[in-house]
């Protein structure tokens, strides 16, 4: 039986639901795409007439919203209405690490997925294809199916005729390049048992994705492939960061090592940038989920292997704050450090698990006065992440006075006048605008001896060469 999809509902208007559904709406003008969320504020931002207010910053997203919103793309809090009219429902809700109970600190908390499945069970009509878009532990589809068909939900006679098929269709977009990744995916993965349902989802993607990039697997392979992809990517980052530390100790240069190994086509050149440690909402949580699953199935060595990727990443973040403290004579008390970037990578306003959080906390703990700048992250978010309100200091002289107290942070709206009397500058996010900074000019403003710490390798060493700034960059052993 050929199933034609006319009406899609996506539960969850977050970093995945919003951009993914926008691209589907853009590429499939004959399908009505409705994105629902319980969060009223988020939905009202998605509906804001000012496109700068969209809750997510992604290059290219605002243009699509402008083209499709209120045509075949709706953002709404009316979960019931749009579930009941949908032929296909994507579950794209958050799946963070469980904070308490069995598996706390490792397993995924599936309460939002379960709540979504219960809503679908309650409101869906006719035959509905339910698609797992969230990243989920292996065999979650079984749980979803059980909820959808549970007796409790079928007790209402009107719903008895509802039928469901569950598919896994994990999302591989990366933040900052979400729209590009969605429009040009390396692959689309669809796991399932029912050929008609799989074909219906495949036909949606075929509107813009070449058929040879649409992979079909069994549902468990699809669920596990998503966790595995993130684990492999994170493992590469930890691997290159470990080699970076060794480069600094031995006189090698991590960029040269990365280039040399990246030329090997079996290794490849991508994802070999040493940095302050991986962040983002998913790498850590997905690896910990893999660790939990491995432990659950009695595979202790497998669990230990993957866990080391996460423990190394944490060690690496502490390593960076320790070395900054060491270079600044072992004490940061009363020292001004300008921090460039707080997002976990450039081109996003997302700070979840950003390496900047741990590193800044450590520096504040050492007594530093941090002046934090990020072109896309607002000060409320930074305050939340650091669990510390900023000191809003208007007068410059007052700033200087308070600087001597140390152990606080302030927000920098712009870089104008940011470097006056700074002891150090620390690059934590690779925003393009930081590459353009005139270090000669900055050097004149800083207190001596002054330091530039580049944890992202974005500053051209030549531009710092003839200044009075001491320069450290990640994985650069040439400075020995």
Q: Using CB under 6 A as the criterion, what x/- string covers residues 114-153 for binding ligand UGA?
A: ---------------------x------------------
Options 205, 342, 344, 419; binder of ligand UGA; rule CB under 6 A: 344
Question: Is residue 359 close enough to count as binding ligand UGA by CB under 6 A?
Answer: no
Answer for the pair 283, 97: CB distance below 8 angstroms, yes or no: no
Q: Which is nearer to ligand UGA, 5 or 141 (CB)?
A: 141
**For ligand NAD, the closer CB: 173 or 412:** 173
Bridge partners, 129 (sequence order): 88, 165
Residues that bind ligand NAD (CB under 6 A): 11-17, 36-39, 42, 79, 92-95, 112, 115-116, 134-135, 171, 173, 175, 281-282
Binding at 37: pick from ligand NAD, ligand UGA, none (beta carbon under 5-8 Å per type): ligand NAD
User: Cβ(167)–Cβ(219) under 8 Å?
Assistant: yes
- What whole-number distance in Å separates Cα of residue 335 and Cα of residue 253? 29
Q: Which long-range contacts (CB under 8 A, 24 or more apart) does 461-464 make?
A: 463/438, 463/439, 464/439
Residue selected from 3, 233, 246, 302 as contacting ligand UGA according to rule CB under 6 A: 233
Is the Cβ of residue 223 or residue 454 nearer to ligand NAD in the bound state? Answer: 223
Q: How far is the CB of 414 from ligand UGA (least distance, A)?
A: 24
CA dihedral 312, 315, 320, 324 (to 10 degrees): -160
List the catalytic residue out of 9, 10, 28, 282.
282
Q: Does 171 bind ligand UGA (CB under 6 A)?
A: yes
273 interacts with ligand UGA by CB under 6 A: yes
Integer distance in angstroms from the first to the last C-alpha of the chain?
Answer: 69
Cα separation values, 379 from 13, 236, 434, 442, 464, Å: 23, 32, 19, 24, 29
Q: 446 contacts which partner out of ligand NAD, ligand UGA, none, CB within 5 to 8 A by kind? A: none
Distances in Å between the alpha carbon of 125 and those of 86, 158, 317, 334, 480?
8, 9, 50, 64, 68
Residues listed for the chain: 480
Which one of ligand UGA, ligand NAD, none is in contact with 94 (Cβ closer than 5 to 8 A by kind)? Answer: ligand NAD
Least distance between ligand NAD and beta carbon 191 (Å): 15
Shortest distance (Å) from residue 29 CB to ligand UGA: 26
Positions in 174-213 near ligand UGA (CB under 6 A): 174-175
| Residue closer to ligand NAD, measured from CB, 280 or 477 | 280
Comparison of 116 and 354: residue with beta carbon closer to ligand NAD: 116
Q: Is 68 labeled as catalytic in the residue annotation?
A: no
Q: How far is the CB of 228 from ligand NAD (least distance, A)?
A: 14
CB of 264 to ligand UGA, least distance (A): 16
What is the torsional sign of CA 194, 196, 200, 203?
A: positive
Q: Least distance (Å) from ligand UGA to the CB of residue 110?
A: 16
Which one of the spans 59-67, 120-128, 279-287, 399-407 is the region binding ligand UGA (CB under 6 A)?
Answer: 279-287
Nearer Cβ to ligand NAD (92/351): 92
Report the catalytic residues: 282
Q: Which residues contribute to the site for ligand UGA (CB under 6 A)? A: 135, 171-175, 230, 233, 237, 271-273, 275, 278-280, 282-283, 344-345
């Amino acid at each position: 039986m050929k199933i034609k999809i006319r009406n899609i509902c996506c539960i969850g208007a977050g970093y995945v639901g919003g951009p993914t559904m926008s691209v589907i709406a853009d590429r499939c003008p004959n399908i009505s795409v409705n994105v629902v969320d319980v969060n009223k504020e988020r939905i009202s931002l998605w509906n804001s007439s000012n496109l700068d207010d969209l809750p997510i910053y992604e290059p290219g997203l605002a243009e699509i919203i402008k083209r499709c919103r209120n045509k075949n793309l709706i953002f709404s809090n009316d979960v019931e209405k749009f579930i009941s009219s949908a032929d296909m429902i994507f579950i794209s809700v958050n799946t963070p690490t469980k904070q308490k109970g069995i598996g706390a600190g490792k397993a995924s908390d599936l309460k939002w997925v379960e709540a979504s499945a219960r809503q679908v069970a309650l409101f869906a009509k006719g035959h509905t294809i339910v698609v797992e878009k969230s990243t989920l532990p292996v065999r979650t589809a079984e749980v979803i199916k059980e909820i959808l068909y549970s007796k409790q939900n079928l007790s209402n006679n009107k719903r008895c005729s509802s039928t469901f098929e569950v598919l896994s269709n994990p999302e591989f977009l990366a933040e900052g390049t979400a729209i590009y990744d969605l429009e040009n995916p390396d692959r689309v993965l669809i796991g399932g048992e029912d050929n008609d349902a799989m074909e219906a989802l495949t036909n949606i993607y075929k509107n813009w994705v070449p058929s040879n990039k649409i992979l079909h697997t069994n549902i468990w392979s699809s669920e596990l492939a998503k966790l595995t992809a993130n684990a492999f990517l994170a493992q590469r980052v930890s691997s290159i960061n470990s080699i970076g530390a060794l480069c600094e100790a031995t006189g090698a240069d991590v960029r040269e090592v990365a280039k040399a190994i990246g030329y090997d086509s079996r290794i490849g050149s991508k994802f070999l940038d040493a940095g302050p440690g991986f962040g983002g909402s998913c790498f850590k949580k997905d690896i910990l989920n893999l660790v939990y699953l491995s432990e659950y199935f009695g595979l202790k060595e497998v669990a230990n292997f993957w866990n080391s990727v996460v423990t190394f990443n944490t060690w690496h973040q502490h390593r960076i704050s320790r070395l900054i403290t060491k270079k600044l004579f072992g004490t940061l008390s009363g020292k001004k450090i300008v921090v460039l970037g707080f997002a976990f990578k450039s081109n996003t306003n997302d700070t979840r698990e950003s390496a900047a959080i741990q590193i800044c906390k450590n520096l504040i703990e050492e007594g530093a006065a941090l002046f934090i700048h990020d072109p896309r992250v607002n000060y409320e978010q930074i305050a939340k992440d650091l669990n510390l309100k900023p000191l809003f200091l208007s007068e410059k002289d007052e700033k200087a006075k308070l600087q001597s107290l140390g152990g606080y942070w302030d927000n920098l709206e712009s870089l104008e006048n940011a470097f006056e009397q700074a002891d150090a500058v620390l690059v934590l996010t690779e925003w393009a605008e930081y590459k353009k900074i005139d270090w000669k000019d900055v050097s004149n403003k800083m207190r001596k001896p002054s330091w530039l710490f580049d944890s992202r390798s974005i500053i051209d060493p030549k531009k710092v060469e003839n200044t009075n700034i001491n320069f450290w960059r990640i994985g650069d052993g040439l400075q020995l």
